[in-house]
Chain A
Amino acid sequence: MRKILYSLSLIIAIFTFTFVLFNLIPANPARIILGPSAPEDAVKKLEKELGLDKPKHIQFLNEFFNLLKLNFGNSTISKKPVGKQVLDRLKNSFKLIFFTLSIAIAISYTLNLIAFFYPKLNPVINLTQFGVILPTFVSSIAIATLISILFPNISLRYEPQNIQTLILPALILSFYPTAVLTHILHNKINEAINSDYFKSSCALGFPKNYLFHKIALKSALVSFLSAWVNLLGIAFFSTITIEIIFTIPGIGPLLVESITQKDFPTLKAIVLLNATFFIIINTIADFIYPKIDPKLKHD
């Protein structure tokens, strides 16, 4: 229960941050939107529209209650409600991220399974630690560059009805997460293999399948899950850039557009919704850890 309140406090902090950023700056937000050469009465009109002429605490409370009603205001460019637009884009982005990280889980699990049954392949797995050197942003655009150089005719357009066009971006993005997950799983499984309980289970004659899945994997699961949740946040950054390159209608192009056009309500909604989503995922993971490893329970 305390964890939930803590997470709620984090979300409220982010909300306050966006409010301070976009409403309380010394410069006039309406003036920033319209540029330095706009006439005075246009600035005043925009101020009234955005509700900036009321006192600051009234603005804060208004925004907070609007938030509880899930009303994020209207975009200054298209005058349409912001919430729906951002949520649609978020759906696309998270489709890509979860696809990427599922590929990473599948590949790291398979590689470690093979390495467990055929121990001669262990040095190959050790090579994955070289995939971890370059940050995820660099490796994803490096591979994307190589592909656009070597295959200039590949169609990079994303069609929503054709899920196969997401495979290439997801594969590109999954390079770094796969390397990290394989490396972590490999280390933890080796730790488990060298422990006493594993050696005695081996001696007792359990089949190799049972040894791998029920004993070695279970010890590795907590670190694996925590690395996976971290990678979700890390991969978000490179997902934004890949979306810009491959013109996938996700958060990336929306972020760039709203920055160049100074669309503050959209920016507020993007920051708030994304941060909320990541905080929720972290909280859920925090609840799952004690269930997997009872040593982590503390009252």
Chain B
Amino acid sequence: MTKQKLKILIAILILYILPHLLIKIGNALDPFSIDINAQYQPPSIKYPFGTDYLGRNLLSRVIYATGLSMKISTLALSISISISLILGSLAGFFPNKLPDKIISWLSSILITTPLILLISATLSIFEPNIEITYITVGLFTWAVPARLVKAEVLQVKNSTFILAEKALGFKNHQILLKMIPLTIFPALTSSLFTLPELISLEVGLSFLGFGSQPPTPSLGKLILTGIMEANIAWWEALFPISALALLIILIYILARKLTFKPG
């Protein structure tokens, strides 16, 4: 396996292990214990990020919430990549025939309509739940990666060795199965760039009330209460939003390092 592909696999491993690590660390520092006497403490040695309105340690809540957001987003990303790989390859393999027309039509709807409406409408019929959240997000965000996969498949399909396989008499589904490992790595790297959008989608959903419920901390709820109470407790607003921004910048740097730079 080339060094490039190895780097991508390591990055994906990091993306799956890091959330669990963050949640473990957050749990160890006890994000749930309520201490009314310690309400609204500014940052100090004992509470490095301060406390919130119930006296809970904000540092552990922020770490736990970041890990949770990342976990939900990476799980949604896996579902979204799987669906987009299958549908994109199908659409690219039979361009302008029936599968392509249906898949392009569906992806047009998903790209023009703001996804937040469709996702929040779907989540409103269920009780707020973490599993339902990431499954729904994954089910609606496959449209943009599918277009990239379709373009990639179209390109590979016209290359000589595929034509040679067809001439040798391989059936369509055998060629399709062989093509998937070739197209998977470009799709993975480009979908790494959509991870920040998925994270902000998840944080926005918990802003609106979906996803994890209190007392489980979630970045959206932390940011919402932080902004509303910013005039009495500036630390409640600053630390969650910095954690979110830091997370996204780190993922962007990771994705940039993995992109193949020609020349």
Contacts and interface: CB of A to CB of B under 8 A. Distances in A.
Given A259-B208, A259-B209, 13 more contacts: A10-B109, A14-B109, A133-B249, A136-B200, A138-B245, A141-B223, A145-B223, A145-B226, A148-B227, A237-B114, A237-B115, A244-B207, A275-B117
Interface string A225-259: 00000000100110011001100000000011011
Contact of A149 (B105, B238, B252): B238
A18 interface: yes
Interface string A188-212: 0000000000000000000000000
B48 to A, nearest CB: 18
B120 A259 contact: yes
B197 interface: yes
B209 A17 contact: no
Given A145-B237, A256-B209, A9 B105 contact: yes
B121 A267 contact: yes
26 contacts: A14-B113, A17-B118, A18-B121, A21-B122, A134-B245, A134-B249, A137-B200, A141-B227, A144-B227, A148-B231, A148-B237, A149-B237, A149-B238, A152-B231, A237-B114, A237-B200, A237-B204, A244-B207, A244-B224, A267-B121, A267-B124, A270-B117, A271-B117, A271-B118, A274-B113, A278-B113
Contacts of A13: 105, 109
Interface in B155-173: none
A282 interface: yes
Interface string B214-257: 00000000011011101100100110010011001100100000
Contacts of A258: 124
A70 interface: no
Contacts of B238: 145, 149
A127 interface: no
Interface centre among A136, A144, A237, A244 (most CB of B within 10 A): A237
B203 interface: yes
Contacts of A241: 204, 207
B1 interface: no
Interface residues of A, number: 48
Interface in A119-149: 133-138, 141-142, 144-145, 148-149
A99 interface: no
Contacts of A233: 112-114
Nearest to A152: B231
Band of interface residues on B? 35 or more
Q: Which 6 A-B pairs have the closest CB atoms?
A: A152-B231, A148-B230, A137-B200, A135-B200, A275-B113, A236-B114
Contacts of A137: 200-201, 203-204
Interface of B: 105, 108-109, 112-118, 120-125, 196-197, 199-201, 203-204, 207-209, 223-224, 226-228, 230-231, 234, 237-238, 241, 244-245, 248-249, 252
A61 interface: no
A245 B227 contact: yes
Interface string A16-58: 0110011001010100100000000000000000000000000
A99 B234 CA distance: 30
Contacts, number: 123
B92 to A, nearest CB: 21
Contact of B112 (A135, A148, A278): A278
A278 B114 CA distance: 8
Interface centre among B109, B113, B207, B249 (most CB of A within 10 A): B113
Nearest to B207: A241
B223 A240 contact: no
B121 A21 contact: yes
A256 B203 CA distance: 15
Contacts of B228: 245
Given A137-B204, A138-B245, A148-B230, A22 B125 contact: yes
Nearest to A282: B112
B114 A141 contact: no
A138 B118 CA distance: 20
Nearest to B252: A133
A89 interface: no
A262 interface: yes
Nearest to A9: B105
Given A148-B237, A241-B204, A135 B118 contact: no
